[in-house]
Structure 1
Amino acid sequence: MKITSLHAREVLDSRGNPTVEAEITIDSRFQASAIVPSGASTGEKEAVELRDGDLQRYKGKGVLQAVGHVNGEISYALLNKEIPDQAALDRILIELDGTPNKSRLGANAILAVSIAFAKAMALARGIPLYAQLETHDTYVMPVPCMNVINGGRHADNSIDFQEFMIAPHRAHSFREAIRMGIETFQTLKEILRKKGYVTAVGDEGGFAPNLSSNEEAIEIILEAIVKAGYAPGDDISICIDPATSELWEAGRYVLFKSMKGSLSRDELLDLWVNWVRQYPIVLLEDGMAENDWDGWKMLTQTLGNEVELVGDDIFCTNPSIFQKGIEQGIANSILIKLNQIGTVTETLQTIQLARQHHYKYFISHRSGETEDTTIADLAVATCAGHIKTGSGCRGERIAKFNRLLRIEEELGHRSRFAGKQAFIFS
C-alpha cells in the first residue's frame, strides 16, 4: 500500500496546550488521523516532546516545529512510498530522526504519524484498529481504573499523592464495570459536598478537594464505595499512583503539598506496607521514584507477592530500560504510554517483553489528553486487562470509555471481562 497524502496541524489537548494532529491517506482512499497527548509529571527518559519555546505563542508550548517536520521531512520520506506494515513505517521514522530519544523530529510528530498509519491500515483492511494491532480469537475487556481523587501535580490542593483510583472488577462485562465506577464516582461527589469539600475536578476528571491527609482520600473513597452499594475489596478495589518522582529530592520524599516534612525510602516503604495491608489496594504505581532503584528493589522484595507494582517513570515504556529493570527484579508490572516511546511498534515490543517475563502491563492515558481513542483499542488488542484513562467526567476521558463500550458490543461473545484476575496478586 502507498501513502498518498500526509498532513499535520497544531491542535489543542484537554489542558488547552498545543499538540500535533496528523492525517494520512493510503492509496488515495483510506484516510485516518491521530492526535498525540501530553503528560504533566513526565519521566526523565521519555521520548522528547518537541515544543517551540517561542514565548510569544502559547507561552512557549507551541508545536509548529513538530508540525513542520511532519509536513516537510517526514512527508518527503513517506509520500508515494509503498509501506508494507507498521514495523516498516516506524523503522523509517526512527532512522529518519536518528536520535535515541526522538529529540530531532519530536516524538509528538513521529507518534502522530505512527498512529494515523495504523488507523489507515485498519480501514484499508476493513477491520477495527484493535484487530490491526493484534489478532485474537477472544479479546479481554479491561477493568476501568478510574481516577476519582486527584492530587500532586494534577491538582491545586493539599494532597501529596497524584492519583487515587477505583477498580470495579466484580462485574460480568465492561459495561457493568463502568456503571459501578460511575455510580461510585457520583456518590463520592455527594459525600464530598456534604462534608463541605470543593467538588471541582483536576486534569483527569477526579475531584481535587483539600483533605486533612493523604489517608483521608482512601477513607472517603471507601465510604463512597459502601454508600454506592458495593463491597470494598470484593466488588471495587483501590489503585494508587503517588507519582513519587515528583516528591524525590536529595534522596528523600518531600510531602510538598501537605507540608508534613519528608520521608526516607524506608519510611515510605513502611507507609506502603501499612496501606496495602490495611486497605483493599490491588495496584501501586510508581511507589518509588524513577532514580531510586534501591528503593524499588526494596519495595518489590517486600510487596512484590502481595500487590501489582507498576513501573511508569522508571521504565518510560522503553524496552531497553525495561529489560534492565527485569534483570534487577524491579516491579512486577509496567505502565504503557504510547508517547513515552513514540511509535506503535516500540510500544507493542515493550508489551511483548512484559509477556515474556510474566510482567503485567497497564495501558494509560496522559493528563493532557485528546479525543483520540487509540488507547482503548490498544488495551483490547493486547488483552491488557486494565486501563486508566481518567475519571467519570470530562469528554476526553469518557471518549475512551464509550469506545470500549462499542468494542464490547461489537465483539459480543468474542470478548470476556478481565475481572479481578487483571491484577496479579489479589
Structure 2
Amino acid sequence: MDTVINNIIARISILKGGKYSIEVDVITPSGFGRFASPLEADPMLYLVEAYRGVSEVDEIIGPELIGFDSQDQELIDSYLWEIDGTEDFSHVGANTALAISIAVAKAASNSKGIPLYRYIGGTFSTEIPVPMVEFGRDENFRYLAVVRDITEIRDVLDGIVKIEEFAKTCTLEELSEASELASEELGIDVGLGLVQLKPFELEELLGIVENNNVAYIKPLSDEEEVYLELMAETHGVFIDGENLFRAKDILDRRYYNALSIKPINFGTLTDVYNIVNDAKSEKITPIMAEATFESADEALVHLAVGLKSPAVILNKDSLVKMNELIRIAEDLGERARIITFEG
C-alpha cells in the first residue's frame, strides 16, 4: 500500500529560544511527513536528552512502526503509549511521541494528496479559527489582540498595528484605551486578551476585567473560587481554564468557558483530538495554542482548522503559521468561513 510506513528518521531540532527538541520524518512509498515538536515552559530536555530521544526513535520506536499503515492514526498513537509504558510519556518523552504522531498524519495526508487540515477534519473542514496574536507583555500580563467580529484574518493584524499606533506604553490602561480607539478607527471590535503572569487578589483581578476592554483572560490561579467568580461576574469574556485543568483535571463549564490546548501537553494527535471533543461536550471552547518554545512548523493551524477549534493563540513573530492560515483560507475559497468567537 502507498500509505504503509517504510522508514522513520529522527534528528535534533533547534526551537525558538535555543532549546533542543526532536524532529521526525515519516516516509511512505508515496508520501512524506515531518514535524519538529515544541516544548513547554521550563523544558528539561537538553542536548544529551535530545540525542537520547533521537536514539529511541532510530533504534526502538521507528523499527517497531515500520509496516504500519500511516492512515491508522489511532492504532499508531495507542501503540506509542504501549511502547512508552508510562502514564505521561516520561520514558520516550512527550515531544518524541508528538513528533512521531503528527509526522505520521502528515505522511498519510501527503500520500493521499490532500492538506493536513482536510485529512484530519474531512470534507467539512471549512471553518477558519480566529487568530489571537500576542503583541506585547509587561510584568503583569502577556497581551493578545482579540478581534471579536473578524471577517478576514488581516483584521487581526490591522488591529495590532492600530493598538501599537495609539498606545504609547505597553501597560494595561494604555492598551485598553488603544484597543477601543482601534475599534473605532477600523470599524471592528478589537478587545484585549490577558495571560496573567503574576498573582492578583481576586477583587483586583475582577476589577481589571470589568474596567478594561477585556475579551479573554487566562488566570494564573489554580483555585476553583477564582474561576467561579470570574464566570459569575463577567459577561462575554472568555475565561481560559488551562491552569485549573492542568493542576486539578477539572473540565467543567461552571468554572471556565474556554481551554487553551497546547498539543505538547497531551501526547499524541489522538489525545489532542480527544481533549478537543471532551471540551466541546462540556460546551467549553477549545483554543489551539502555541507552546513556549516552538519551531516554524505550520501544523498547529492545520490542527485548529481540522479539529474545528474556534481560535488559535499565536505569537506575533509566528509568521509561518499566520501565512499558512491565510493560505488555507485561500485554498477553501468561497467555502471558507470564520468561526463565530463569542464568550
TM-score, scaled to structure 2? 0.90
Per the alignment, residue 190 of structure 2 pairs with 236
2:263 and 2:107 map into 1 onto residues whose CA distance is 18
Q: Given the superposition, is the C-alpha separation of residues 187 and 29 from structure 1 closer, same or farther in structure 2, using an over 3 Å criterion?
A: same
Per the alignment, residue 15 of structure 1 pairs with 17
Is 1:220 the counterpart of 2:175? The answer is: yes
What letter is aligned with 2:161? E
Say whether the 8 Å CA contact 1:309–1:332 is kept in structure 2: yes
Q: Given the superposition, is the C-alpha separation of residues 371 and 273 from structure 1 closer, same or farther in structure 2, using an over 3 Å criterion?
A: same
What letter is aligned with 1:238? L
Distance apart, 1:311 and its partner CA: 1.4
Q: Given the superposition, is the C-alpha separation of residues 138 and 35 from structure 1 closer, same or farther in structure 2, using an over 3 Å criterion?
A: closer
Is 1:274 the counterpart of 2:200? The answer is: no
Is 1:412 the counterpart of 2:337? The answer is: no
Is 1:354 the counterpart of 2:279? The answer is: yes
Say whether the 8 Å CA contact 1:34–1:115 is kept in structure 2: yes
Per the alignment, residue 111 of structure 1 pairs with 98
Per the alignment, residue 313 of structure 2 pairs with 388
Is 1:165 the counterpart of 2:165? The answer is: no
Q: Given the superposition, is the C-alpha separation of residues 138 and 120 from structure 1 closer, same or farther in structure 2, using an over 3 Å criterion?
A: closer
Q: Structure 1, residues 207-240: CA drift from partner, whole Å, max 9, x if none? A: xx6xxxxxx33423532662686369x5211111
Please report the RMSD computed on the Cα atoms of aligned residues, expressed in angstroms.
2.5
Q: Structure 1, residues 279-318: CA drift from partner, whole Å, max 9, x if none? A: 1211111x2423x234333433443x542111123324x9
2:220 and 2:212 map into 1 onto residues whose CA distance is 19
Q: Given the superposition, is the C-alpha separation of residues 381 and 230 from structure 1 closer, same or farther in structure 2, using an over 3 Å criterion?
A: farther
Is 1:3 the counterpart of 2:11? The answer is: no
Q: Structure 1, residues 245-289: CA drift from partner, whole Å, max 9, x if none? A: xx4xxxxx3xxxxxxxxx5xxxx221232122211211111x242
1:84-95 alignment, distance < 5 Å = 84-95=71-82
1:138 and 1:10 map into 2 onto residues whose CA distance is 33
2:281 and 2:175 map into 1 onto residues whose CA distance is 39
The 3-state SS of whatever aligns with 1:81 is: coil
Q: 1:325 aligns with which of 237, 247, 251?
A: 251
1:28-39 alignment, distance < 5 Å = 28-39=29-40
Say whether the 8 Å CA contact 1:165–1:238 is kept in structure 2: yes
2:163 and 2:31 map into 1 onto residues whose CA distance is 40
Q: Given the superposition, is the C-alpha separation of residues 98 and 288 from structure 1 closer, same or farther in structure 2, using an over 3 Å criterion?
A: same
**What is the aligned residue count?**
341
The 3-state SS of whatever aligns with 1:354 is: helix
Say whether the 8 Å CA contact 1:138–1:416 is kept in structure 2: no
1:173 and 1:160 map into 2 onto residues whose CA distance is 30
Distance apart, 1:50 and its partner CA: 6.2
Distance apart, 1:12 and its partner CA: 0.4
2:104 and 2:164 map into 1 onto residues whose CA distance is 38
2:271 and 2:203 map into 1 onto residues whose CA distance is 36
Q: 1:177 aligns with which of 123, 145, 155?
A: 155
Q: Structure 1, residues 352-393: CA drift from partner, whole Å, max 9, x if none? A: 1111111111110022111111111111122222111111xx
Per the alignment, residue 206 of structure 1 pairs with none
Distance apart, 1:105 and its partner CA: 0.5
Runs of 4+ in structure 1 over 4 Å off: none
Say whether the 8 Å CA contact 1:164–1:218 is kept in structure 2: no
Q: How many percent identity over aligned positions? A: 21
